[in-house]
Structure 1
Amino acid sequence: MSFLRNPFLLLGVNLSAIAGSTYLLRSHHIYNLEEHEARMDELEGTLRGHIGLIEESLDRIEGNGTEADRGMKMNEYYGKRGRDEKQQ
């Protein structure tokens, strides 16, 4: 049992435990960030679509533009994703 009192062994065990737990927590954190980004992209696309439908309905009620203009406007503004805009 005297080997358990060796300070270098204790230091090595402690450092390896810290390194292992850091690696594990970092990998979980990265996974959760990727999942969150995917959910936010999906939510953004849904909200853009709903906003487009609301604006199209408002234009139709107000009588602004033709049907083709409204469809083109909706595709232009709300068909894209935020990630696509950031890459350009």
Structure 2
Amino acid sequence: MSAYIIGQVKVKDRALWNQYVAGVASSLQAFEAKVLVRGQFKQALAGHADLSDSVVIEFSSAEQLNRWFHSHDYQQLITLRDQAASVSINSYVAEA
């Protein structure tokens, strides 16, 4: 079953965030993951949103998602990520 990361972001430093995004894109290649959506916040249609960006990334499986998240390449980006933004990153598995 496909697995997804949904990231919700409040960018603190756009230049650092762009460096992080470039690093993530590179780190995803070995895991054959696809960025389905990456965009900046437009409006809250229900409730309140305190974020600036969101991303949805698709993996072939939860195992592949976890391998990527714990990979050396991604782990090296975490300090940059935390300097650039406040994030919420969650994983989901598609239901049949």
Q: Higher RCO, 1 or 2 (CA under 8 Å, sep at least 6)?
A: 2
What's the TM-score once normalised by structure 2's chain length?
Answer: 0.26
What's the TM-score once normalised by structure 1's chain length?
Answer: 0.28
Structure number with larger C-alpha Rg: 1
The structure carrying a bigger strand percent of its residues is 2
The structure carrying a bigger helix percent of its residues is 1
